[in-house]
């Protein structure tokens, strides 16, 4: 059975991808692409909170075998890790990439070439990691890659701090949304990433993402083809407020939402500046979080393993 064609191919054929790309590029001139609404002229090289101008910066692109099971399959998820971030959690496990900007600026043509290389390697999808601040660059690169034969699903792997208006630019482009829902308490969001509106923004983002793609759909091989997959990192001392996050997902998104309750928190970056984050998560804390997800009615929980394989 042949796999269904990704949404972006139809959007390109209709001419709408070009329109979306032009709309997104125009927004760079007074950037309000994310909830930070910095209003700097990124098209002219000015930089706001994300410290990214016109060009996207890429830290790495590689087949990744540590992502969620429906993304990995036999040949891996084709991850493109963007440098910088619009959220900048103090405890980020990719601190050198997100905060310090490790990586190189790339042209839209180079970004398209990365997608084609990952597809040629056999990856099951193109997985844009931390893409919220580079949506225009992604759309422009897709304009180049689609005529070259790109035909595997697009994954938008974000921190959940996404504006619904920007997400609408991706309607008919992104096949799989994979946002974090990090924490429920605005106070925790403020202390960890200077974003007290994070819980409200994440709720709106998940609603828009689910409106576009629905629940996660798997093919006969168990690979994700379309839909929403939510990540939630368990934090020490219940700081993520897992139960309330899971209750929201179950009651206001869907009980059939595919969720990865993640156990790998460890103090990274500047985590020691936040009281309560100086220690890792205990086995008991993690198992309690999984139980809370189940008790709230969620039943599609992932158990990923984490390894890398490079091109």
Over 70: is that where the pLDDT of 306 sits? no
Structure tokens at 278: 């100086």
In the chain, the percentage of residues whose pLDDT exceeds 70 is 96
**Would you say residue 136 lies in a domain?**
yes
pTM of the model: 0.95
User: What's the rounded Cα separation, in Å, for the pair 277 and 193?
Assistant: 13
* CB neighbour list of residue 167: distance below 8 Å, 6 or more residues apart: 205, 208, 209, 212
- Tens of pLDDT, residue by residue over 195-205, are 999 999 999 99
CA 194 to chain centre: 19
- CATH code of residue 204: 3.20.20.70
**Taking the C-alpha atoms of 273, 203, 35 and 86 in order, what is their torsion angle to the nearest 10 degrees?**
50
- Tens of pLDDT, residue by residue over 26-64, are 999 999 999 999 999 999 999 999 999 999 999 999 999
* CB neighbour list of residue 263: distance below 8 Å, 6 or more residues apart: 234, 281, 286
**Would you say residue 2 lies in a domain?**
no
**Would you say residue 92 lies in a domain?**
yes
**Would you say residue 76 lies in a domain?**
yes
- Domain hosting 221: range is 7-301
* CB neighbour list of residue 284: distance below 8 Å, 6 or more residues apart: none
In the chain, the percentage of residues whose pLDDT exceeds 90 is 95
User: What's the rounded Cα separation, in Å, for the pair 146 and 91?
Assistant: 36
Over 50: is that where the pLDDT of 111 sits? yes
Structure tokens at 176: 């799989």
Under 8 Å between Cβ of 80 and 126? yes
- Across 194-218, average pLDDT: 98
**Would you say residue 307 lies in a domain?**
no
Question: Closest Cα to residue 201, out of 176, 167, 170?
Answer: 167
Would you state the pLDDT for residue 164?
97
- Tens of pLDDT, residue by residue over 225-265, are 999 999 999 999 999 999 999 999 999 999 999 999 999 99
User: What's the rounded Cα separation, in Å, for the pair 35 and 297?
Assistant: 30
Tally of domains in the chain: 1
Mean pLDDT of the chain: 95
Over 50: is that where the pLDDT of 308 sits? no
pLDDT band at 170 (very low <50, low <70, confident <90, very high): very high
Under 8 Å between Cβ of 52 and 84? yes
**Would you say residue 310 lies in a domain?**
no
Query: Residues 244-259, buried b or exposed e (16+ Cβ, 10 A)?
Result: ebbbbbbeebbeebbb
**Would you say residue 167 lies in a domain?**
yes
**Would you say residue 88 lies in a domain?**
yes
Pairing of β 77-82 and β 126-129: parallel
Question: Closest Cα to residue 181, out of 197, 212, 160, 204?
Answer: 160
């Amino acid at each position: 059975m042949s796999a269904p064609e990704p949404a972006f191919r139809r959007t390109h054929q209709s001419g709408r991808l070009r329109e979306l790309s032009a709309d997104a590029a125009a927004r760079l001139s007074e950037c309000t692409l994310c909830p930070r609404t910095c209003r700097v002229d990124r098209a002219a090289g000015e930089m706001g909170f994300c410290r990214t101008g016109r060009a996207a910066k890429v830290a790495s692109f590689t087949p990744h075998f540590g992502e969620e099971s429906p993304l990995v399959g036999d040949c891996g998820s084709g991850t493109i890790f963007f440098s910088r971030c619009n959220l900048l959690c103090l405890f980020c496990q990719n601190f050198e990439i997100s905060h310090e900007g490790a990586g190189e600026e790339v042209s839209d043509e180079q970004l398209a070439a990365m997608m084609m290389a990952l597809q040629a390697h056999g990856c099951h999808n193109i997985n844009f990691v931390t893409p919220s601040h580079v949506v225009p660059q992604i759309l422009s690169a897709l304009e180049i890659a689609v005529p070259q034969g790109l035909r595997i699903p697009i994954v938008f792997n974000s921190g959940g701090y996404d504006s619904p208006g920007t997400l609408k630019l991706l309607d008919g482009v992104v096949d799989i949304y994979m946002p974090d829902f990090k924490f429920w308490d605005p106070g925790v969001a403020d202390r960890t990433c200077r974003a007290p509106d994070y819980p409200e923004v994440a709720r709106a983002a998940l609603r828009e993402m689910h409106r576009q793609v629905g629940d996660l759909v798997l093919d006969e091989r168990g690979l994700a083809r379309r839909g929403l997959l939510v990540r939630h990192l368990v934090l020490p001392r219940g700081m993520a407020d897992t139960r309330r996050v899971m209750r929201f997902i179950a009651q206001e998104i869907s009980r059939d939402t595919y969720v990865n309750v993640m156990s790998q928190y460890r103090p990274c970056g500047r985590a020691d500046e936040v009281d309560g984050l100086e220690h890792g998560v205990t086995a008991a804390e993690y198992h309690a979080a999984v139980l809370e997800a189940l008790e709230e009615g969620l039943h599609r929980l992932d158990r990923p393993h984490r390894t890398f394989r490079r091109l």
